[in-house]
Structure 1
């Protein structure tokens, strides 16, 4: 029986671009280039490694987003994923993490799965809660923030590294896991992989395909909302400390005033 791995990925604004909010205080996605979230590349990598270690495995990448979100799927396909699912609907813009988890869970159930993998957080929202929300909706165990992953005998195992200690965790499949940027360097797409990605299937679903009502998603039905936002202030000139015998003391006083020491 084929071991089915679903990787949840996100199409995000390029962090090196000039990111802004639009009038409704959602992220401006039209005036900035987008790409596959860097943290999700680690999830794709762990999915590919798990598939390589299985006798018969299939890796499906799943995203929720606008038409351009297909670019994120193509990147994952060029890395080696087998197929992709794109959920797009006119009622989805502005959907928060809770609504997104509903859409992802419904799509994952429809696709079929043994293991769901995601990155530790998206590089735009950085909330890191979606994997747990998806696991709750699917009614399966979650093992999050793993820096090491292995799958064998119907069990997923991993190591979670903290500041002072590491934990060894495991869960019975099916399960949802998230991986950190310490889980292993993501592979670069080869030219052969980029060419092959163009022939791999990409399914397109909307809310009706997932039996989701419009009043369960979208900005108007979000449980969380941005109430105000301000532009980051321009960078100011730094403080110059001239060492005329007491430079060390001045530097220590400055660091103390900033509560850095």
Structure 2
């Protein structure tokens, strides 16, 4: 079966004042249709650089990204949608106008765009807030609006970079549950970048563990919690949850030990 998205031998280096800093080295990975994959690793492992390469915002110094079998290296692909840590809502536009911004850029007339967006306000508990400005919304509401702005474009692949990092724990749990229910219902492929091991285990079908300096994939872990529920609390209570958490944690922690003290997994 052809992967929805595939990266082949991705490497990247930055050059500054004649010094070369190798950020990523020879990464190979894939995401299948309707699959949720996450990347986790220590600070400095190049997760955000990798995200920008997948998104087509940065051209790697080596390797290629392919979407549905076609190369998309160094250029944004129409099947991709982005959700970032910062909501980036425009303060001078209403929430409705922020949500339909991408449709307007594509040339969709306002009436059609509003009709497409309106059901999302009901789905994400923002009905009645269409004409409010971002300053009137809480952080969680703003992040919901940012996700709606992406979903209204109907992307096949969602790229999410530390999307819930800045939120408090109860709100983060609620939004993770909403996300998981949404991507399953709409059958989206998700590539999720996070530093949070609990988040990765809870949401993912597979987790890629990275090491730093330079960033490399050191382990691929298929996650099966044995729980069908999209409720994050249910998933974190699964008997298998701690097994996967420990597996990922030990893989990351091993990288901070001197080479002679590392255990071979």
Greater share of helix residues, 1 or 2?
2
Which protein is bigger by CA-based radius of gyration? 1
TM-score of the two chains, using structure 2 as the length reference: 0.24
TM-score of the two chains, using structure 1 as the length reference: 0.24
